[in-house]
């Protein structure tokens, strides 16, 4: 089957978008390990109720790293894929 230029561009965009998404999924496990270690009692001590407000905010920001990472990766892969298909 022979594809025209737009068909080839769409296929390449699909492959690259899927590759970026899969590569990001590989990094989720090490990233969650780093988050767990940084929240531990020896580091930020997020389980302690008597920490300062600044430390609580830091714990909140550390907790939000993983959802933001996943959202950014999905946005980048989807944007790249959409740009390749629509142009």
pLDDT recorded at residue 1:
58
Distance from C-alpha of 66 to C-alpha of 71, rounded to nearest angstrom: 9
Reported as a single tens digit per residue, the pLDDT across 32-84 is: 999 999 989 888 888 888 999 999 999 999 999 999 998 998 888 788 777 76
- From the list 76, 72, 77, 74, the residue with the least C-alpha distance to 14 is 77
Alpha carbon of residue 63 to chain centroid: 13
Looking up tokens 């990094």 gives 27
Reported as a single tens digit per residue, the pLDDT across 22-34 is: 888 899 999 999 9
pTM (2 d.p.) = 0.72
- Do residues 38 and 32 touch, judged by C-beta distance below 8 A? no
């Amino acid at each position: 089957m022979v594809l025209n230029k737009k068909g080839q561009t769409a296929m390449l965009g699909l492959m690259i978008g899927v590759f970026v998404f899969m590569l990001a999924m590989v990094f989720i496990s090490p990233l969650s390990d780093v988050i767990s270690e940084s929240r531990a009692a020896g580091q930020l001590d997020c389980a302690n109720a008597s920490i300062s407000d600044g430390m609580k905010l830091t714990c909140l920001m550390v907790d939000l790293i993983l959802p933001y990472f996943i959202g950014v990766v999905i946005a980048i892969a989807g944007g790249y894929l959409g740009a390749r298909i629509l142009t």
